Chains A and B, each alone.
Chain A
Amino acid sequence: MGFDAAEFDAAEFDAAEFDANRRYRLHERVALRPEPFGALAYHYDNRRLNFLRAPELVTLVESLGEHRSVREAFDSAGLDQSRWPSFEKALASLAASDFLVAI
């Protein structure tokens, strides 16, 4: 297709570099397009595409900067604790491709 869907896997980013106790925000050069599955994200600087595959993930990503830490954002969003690990992994992947930046 016109785009290259080389997906990240565990070997390609170090999840340990992501710290859920820190504050993150969406990179200012990232745009989100709402989609039924969540959102399509595009990074104008590194020209990567990203699928945010849950509507809750989109809301969360947009609000990250308003919270002192990722975990606080989870809590504030009322996200069920059983879903925290998978959301954390998704955010770690986004941070690894520079869609999120630590502040």
Chain B
Amino acid sequence: MTDTAVAPTTPPDTATGSAATALGVPTTAKPHSLVLSPVKRSGLAEQLKAGLDAPICLTWELTYACNLQCIHCLSSSGRRDPRELTTTEAEAVIDELQRMQVFYINIGGGEPTIRSDFWHLIDYATDHGVGVKFSTNGSRIDASVARRLAASDYVDVQISIDGADAATNDAVRGEGSLEVAQQAMKHLHNAGFKGFKISVVMTRHNIAQVDELEAMAARFDAELRLTRFRPSGRGADSWYQLHPTEAQQRLLYRWLLDRPEVLTGDSFFHLSALGEPLPGLNLCGAGRVVCLIDPIGDVYACPFVLHDEFRAGSVRDHGGFQRVWQHSELFAELREPQSAGACASCGHFDACQGGCMAAKFFTGIPLDGPDPECVLGHGEPLVDAARSARPSLALDHSRPSPVKLLARNHRAART
């Protein structure tokens, strides 16, 4: 039940020593070379950078409404936007994705299960050849929902948490939120749903808990998914306190190298500057192979850049999603070869690709500058000075008066 992107990359034939040519691999590849060597992947990666006629998959945030108020929420969710796509509009988007052969989508929010037509849209998508993985805080996954999910082959579930214990998790997501999430995990496990995902954004406070998180996933027959914390949405402010230290990043890199089965959404490619690349494509897929549709139908380059600068259009525009994907100026630009900029003089640009566009943008670092978390230390000296150049956050659906959540202090600090 893993949703791995599996390139059938294989070692050159060991019997003859000839290089693998079936896979777009240069014939100069050394016999017996490592399966995952970057050289062998580069042919595909280069093609993907130039973009595809349709995304490999996309993220669709169905609603900005959320019953939590996580202090690092990438979409600053909380309140429903009155302009949200209607059921009919959402169905039309699914029809279009089916026509474009987008095989699966990641549904998120906000808390997507809050939408009253959520289950209908899931069924509508899977009935139209569009598989679904949805992210949830677990609050709506009771025993009967879990049984229903376990019975479907076409729906995958991802439960988000932010720590292995309540103290760590709830400080970010709100009081009682770990218990709620673990109840959902229990229901899925009891219903026989194997391989659902437990998704954790790596912060300074939970990165030391990776072993416990791994054990939790094993206990529930789930798969662990660790992703990088980006300074997006409400994370733009909390990033300064929450992002992992350089030493922690190095430990995580070793930990992930030892565990190719841990899912990462390819989000730690900046760590590949440390040496052997992590499994995956090691590229920024924004506007090239992935994108985001937000609750009101706006299309952005990726889930971490909900900002006018990275808005490519709307599914409500003439020509719909397909026209945005294939013809927007923004996406055309992102598919052009990117300059190494300030990173040109560093010998590791090929490995890290200059890091994450969203991480740079929301910390005020130029897009051709180093990643703020550059593992070779090129970003950190810029972080303080760049702070004044940070973009304003135009999109904010945070609730005005969060209740009983630790996020309160954080919000008070922002205003």
Contacts and interface: CB of A to CB of B under 8 A. Distances in A.
Interface in B99-115: 101, 103-104, 106
B277 to A, nearest CB: 11
A70 B302 CA distance: 41
A10 B6 contact: no
B32 to A, nearest CB: 11
A52 interface: yes
Interface string B344-356: 0000000000000
Nearest to A46: B1
Interface stretch (B142-150, B208-216, B244-252, B259-267): B259-267
A11 B36 CA distance: 12
A35 interface: yes
Which of B12, B43, B54, B57 lies at the interface centre, i.e. has the most chain A CB atoms within 10 A of its CB? B57
Contacts, number: 195
Interface string A2-19: 111111111010010000
Interface residues of B, number: 62
A6 B4 contact: yes
Interface stretch (B20-28, B70-78, B175-183): B20-28
Identify whether the interface residues of A are mostly helix, strand, loop, or mixed.
mixed
A91 to B, nearest CB: 8
A89 to B, nearest CB: 3
A82 B6 CA distance: 24
B326 interface: no
Contacts of B156: 47
Interface of B: 1-13, 15-16, 18-25, 35-36, 43-44, 47, 52-54, 56-59, 101, 103-104, 106, 129, 131, 133, 153-154, 156, 225, 260-267, 279-281, 285, 289-290, 302-303
Interface of A: 1-10, 12, 15, 31, 33, 35-38, 40, 42, 44-54, 56-57, 82-83, 85-94, 97
Q: Which 5 A-B pairs have the closest CB atoms?
A: A85-B13, A89-B10, A42-B103, A5-B280, A86-B20
Given A6-B2, A48-B5, A57-B23, 11 more contacts: A1-B302, A8-B9, A37-B44, A47-B3, A47-B131, A48-B3, A50-B7, A53-B7, A54-B21, A54-B23, A86-B10
